[in-house]
Amino acid sequence: HTICVISRANMTAPAPDADFQETLCGCFDDMGICCMSYWCPCIQQGRNAADLDGKPGDMDMLTCILPFIIGGDCTFMFFNYMHREKLRRLMNYRENPGGDCLISFYCWRCSTCQIAREIKKKNIAEIARARNSTMVVVQAGVPGGYPPQGYPMQPQGLSTTAAGLPATGLSATGLPAARLPATGLRTA
């Protein structure tokens, strides 16, 4: 049988020597993010965490509440460092653990603002969401073949397209084919 993987993250990552486009001291470039990062850093860090996890518009409550349970600044510094590293991995930015550690310790509010502006400017929340979502479609009707456990099988007797999607307009998952992404189709 053939398994087609449809990935929504068919994007070219920046070169490994790339770095943050937003400056650390550019806080006043977006006053809304600046104010949120300075006066309500727990909320801004919760938003940053959700965006980096591919959940735009949401807020990571653990990141938001934990600093009050454990004790403020050290928790903010830790989360800020983790967000910087996650953003670097997600965007294929040059690694800089020493610099990120120093920035997260001494300038965590400015760094929180920098991360939020970088997320907003490059639409990183959507990139993270796309990279976290991959759909697997199994082509049914192959003699002697069956889908791996956990993958839905198309009912017998339905014709399929070349990509293994049912000609009925439904995908092998039962979703309308029009809702499937059109990019990133490859055979595994």
Query: With 0-12 CB in 10 A as exposed, 13-18 as middle and 19+ as buried, what is 2?
Result: middle
- pLDDT tops 60 at residue 14: no
User: Cα–Cα–Cα angle for 44, 49, 52, nearest 5°?
Assistant: 120
Where are the alpha helices (H) located in 30-123, listed in sequence order?
31-39, 41-52, 61-66, 72-91, 97-106, 108-122
* pLDDT for 37: 93
Confidence of residue 74 (pLDDT cuts 50, 70, 90): confident
Q: Identify whether the C-beta of residue 115 lies closer than 8 Å to the C-beta of residue 91.
A: no
**Confidence label for 69 from pLDDT (cuts 50, 70 and 90):** confident
- Tokens 């486009």: give the residue: 21
